[in-house]
Amino acid sequence: MTDANERKIRVLVAKCGLDGHDRGVRVIARAFQEAGMEVIYTGLHQTPEAVVEAAVQEDVDVVGLSVLSAAHMTLFPRVLELLREKGATNVLLTGGGIIPDEDKAALEVLGVGRLFRPGEAPIDDMVTYIREEVARRRGREGDT
């Protein structure tokens, strides 16, 4: 599936703010590991600043936010802004949560990747999306 010389996809999964629901994000993290990705889980109650700092330090390809607290219109734009400030413009910001269609569309316009709602997308779809998007981004940068 991946070239022996190609580095594994590195994914940081995070829970920002007061959202204490982490069962789903733990299931997703495990699924990504089983799919051959390296996964860093920041734990609960992180700030956007801490998430981005960890993403930069860990040299990740993907930041996946899990937001079940209705703070998605604050958290996703803030993380995206901080990634850009740190020069991590090739990092895919994706995630999931209880996000209405109109908000998903607005976040996409800002540059957030595909967002997944609980129970709507099989985990295999998430894995495929991440693999394809990371490959596209690496290809654009010549990073293979």
Closest CA to 38 of 66, 70, 6, 86: 6
> Residue 13: helix, strand or coil by DSSP?
strand
pLDDT computed for residue 5 by the predictor: 62
Which sequence spans correspond to the domains of the chain? 10-141
Element (H, E) at 95: strand 92-97
Compute the average pLDDT of residues 30-37: 98
DSSP-derived letter for residue 70 is: S
Q: What span, in angstroms and rounded, lies between the C-alpha atoms of 137 and 121?
A: 23
Question: In this model, does residue 19 exceed pLDDT 90?
Answer: no
Find tokens 């569309």 and name the residue.
105
Average pLDDT, the chain: 93
Find tokens 């700030």 and name the residue.
47
Give the architecture (CATH level 2) of 10-141: 3-Layer(aba) Sandwich (3.40)
Q: Give the pair of three-digit tokens for residue 56.
A: 């930069």
pLDDT computed for residue 117 by the predictor: 94
Report CA 103 to chain centroid distance, whole Å: 17
Find tokens 């129970």 and name the residue.
119
> pLDDT grade, residue 85 (50/70/90)?
very high
